[in-house]
Structure 1
C-alpha cells in the first residue's frame, strides 16, 4: 500500500494523528535507536531521513537493526496516536484512508520555529 518512508518531522515537532476512515500500520522508533537505522539527512538537531525500511528490514544490510526498539500500532477509525518530538516513524496504508494530524509547538521546540 501507499504510505511514508521512515522519517522525523521537521524542527523536532511532536504531533497527534487521527484516522477518520481506513486502516494504517505505524512503526515508530525513539531517538536513542537512530544509529541503527542509517540516517541519511540531518538538520541542526536530529536526522530527518533514514535508509531503513521498518516495514521490511533487510537485516543482512542493516545488522544493527537486530534488537532495535520499534513500537507498532494499527490505527482504525477513531484511533489517535501521539508521536513525541524527534521520534522516527513510518506508516503504510492497509486500506484507503482519510486522516488528520496536528503538529504543535511548545516551550520544548519553540526555538526551532522562531
Structure 2
C-alpha cells in the first residue's frame, strides 16, 4: 500500500523547494516519484503547432516536475507539521462476511493514531 496518494497534502523536506506544501496531483509508482501542485516548477519549451480547431499552441510554459517520494512527507493541516504514516489492518464486516482491510494512520510525535 502506497503511503503517499493522489490528493494528499505533502510538505517538501529536501531540495530547492524545501518547506513548501502542496497537493499531490499524481503518483508515478514505477519511478517512486510524485508531482506536487506548485512545487518543482520548471520551464518547458513546447514546439509551436496547431490544433484541429486552428488555434496555435507552443511557446515557453512552466509545469510541475516530478520529485522523489523520499523528499516529501505527509502534511497534517490540523497539527501544521509533517507526520509519518503507517498501515494498520482492521476486521470489517461487509456483505455478511468479515474482511481484512488495510487503513492508513498517522504515527509518531506522541499522538494517538488517526485514520486518514
| Greater share of residues in helix | 1
TM range (shorter): under 0.3
**Which protein has the larger Cα radius of gyration, Structure 1 or Structure 2?**
2
The higher relative CO (CA closer than 8 Å, separation ≥ 6) is in 1
Q: TM-score by structure 2 length?
A: 0.24
